Amino acid sequence: MDTTPEKRTARVSKRMDAGRPDNFRHEAGRCQMSRRMFLLTSGITTATVMVAMHAGTTLAKEVPGVVATYPRKLIGRLSELKQDEPLDFDYPDEGAYAESMVVKLGVDAGGGIGPDRDVVAFNYTCTHQGGPLAGTYKAETKSLGACPLHLSTYDLTRHGILISGQAYQSLPQILLELEGDNIFAVGVFGLIYGRYDNLQG
Ligand code: FES
- DSSP assignment, residue 52? H
Give the distance (Å) from ligand 1 centre to CA of residue 137.
15
Of these ranges, 41-50, 59-68, 101-110, the one predicted with the greatest mean pLDDT is 101-110
Which atom of ligand 1 is the closest one to the Cα of 152? 3
Residue 159 clears pLDDT 80, i.e. is over it: yes
Residue 138 clears pLDDT 70, i.e. is over it: yes
Give the distance (Å) from ligand 1 centre to CA of residue 152.
6
Which atom of ligand 1 is the closest one to the Cα of 148? 2
Task: Tell me what the mean pLDDT of segment 18-24 comes to.
Answer: 42
CA distance 137 to 124: 10
Predicted confidence band at 65 (pLDDT cuts at 50, 70, 90)? low
| HEC string for the chain | CCCCHHHHHHHHHHHHHCCCCHHHCEECCEECCCHHHHHHHHHHHHHHHHHHHHCCCHHHHHCCCCCCCCCCEEEEEHHHCCCCCCEEEECCCCCCCCEEEEEECCCCCCCCECCCCCEEEEECECCCCCCECCCCEECCCCEECCCCCCCCEEECCCCCEEEECCCCCCCCEEEEEEECCEEEEEEEECCCCCCCCCCCC
Residue 150 among the catalytic residues: yes
Tell me what the pLDDT averaged over the chain comes to: 79
Specify burial of residue 16 (Cβ count, 10 A radius: 0-12, 13-18, 19+).
middle
Neighbouring-strand partners of residue 177: 184
Share of the chain above pLDDT 70, in %: 66
**For the CA atoms of 119, 124, 126, 130, what is the dihedral angle to 10 degrees?**
-160
Share of the chain above pLDDT 90, in %: 65
Range in 13-17, 41-45, 169-173, 191-195 the model is least confident about = 41-45
The residue that leads in pLDDT, 103 or 1, is 103
Question: Is 0.75 topped by the overall pTM?
Answer: no
Residue 26 among the catalytic residues: no
